[in-house]
A and B are shown apart, each in its own frame.
Chain A
Amino acid sequence: KQEVTQIPAALSVPEGENLVLNCSFTDSAIYNLQWFRQDPGKGLTSLLLIQSSQREQTSGRLNASLDKSSGRSTLYIAASQPGDSATYLCAVKGDQTGANNLFFGTGTRLTVIP
């Protein structure tokens, strides 16, 4: 069964700093990988989606990379802002058919200090 791990569990940085969140997964047979943002008590907002054939995706100050063979993805946030404070979740979708093929990490709780 796919296992997804996110490190660190929590991260606190001063405003303006660049930072990297890590996600690792055990089974490289994936269809895609998604990074989500979750504010406290709220739903998930999709940030970036990387297909298994892609190496990276960019959106504004966010850049996500994927190394499928080593089972790793990173989310790079440039010039962090207090509004970036949230929990960031990584989710891997398996390439097998079936409904329960989306596996979540436990998240990294980010705090950006003004």
Chain B
Amino acid sequence: SAVISQKPSRDICQRGTSLTIQCQVDSQVTMMFWYRQQPGQSLTLIATANQGSEATYESGFVIDKFPISRPNLTFSTLTVSNMSPEDSSIYLCSVTGLPPYNEQFFGPGTRLTVL
């Protein structure tokens, strides 16, 4: 299994500002995933962060709005830039466990409220 921690656990931010969310995993992983969960909705994949290369963004998400860093195999950050109230969501970091199970593990989430 993988143990994932995220910082901050929650934050309240003003419109137009940016917030950087940190994700730390207790083991080395190739890919780290960032998800968004808007109120009352299920999870949507924002991007996949690979160490040593640019993140891969899903349709509807762009690097200027959600820049991602992946400096090593256990750490990643997601920045939510120029925030608006529509960015109020839970942001979750996730990794996939080892084959053959490929179990998915999630961090505790960052609950963001934008005023």
Contacts and interface: CB of A to CB of B under 8 A. Distances in A.
Interface in A10-33: 31-32
A64 interface: no
A15 B34 CA distance: 36
Interface residues of A, number: 22
Contacts of B90: 41-43
A106 B41 contact: yes
B56 A99 contact: yes
Given A43-B108, A44-B92, A100 B101 contact: no
Interface of A: 31-32, 34, 36, 41-46, 49, 51, 89, 91, 93, 99-100, 102, 104-107
B92 A102 contact: no
Contact of A32 (B31, B56, B58, B101): B101
A89 B33 CA distance: 18
Interface in B85-108: 90, 92, 100-108
A45 B104 CA distance: 10
A34 B43 CA distance: 14
B101 A49 contact: yes
A41 B109 contact: yes
A42 B106 CA distance: 10
B106 A43 contact: yes
B42 interface: yes
B45 interface: yes
A31 B102 contact: yes
Nearest to A90: B42
Contact of B48 (A36, A43, A100, A107): A100
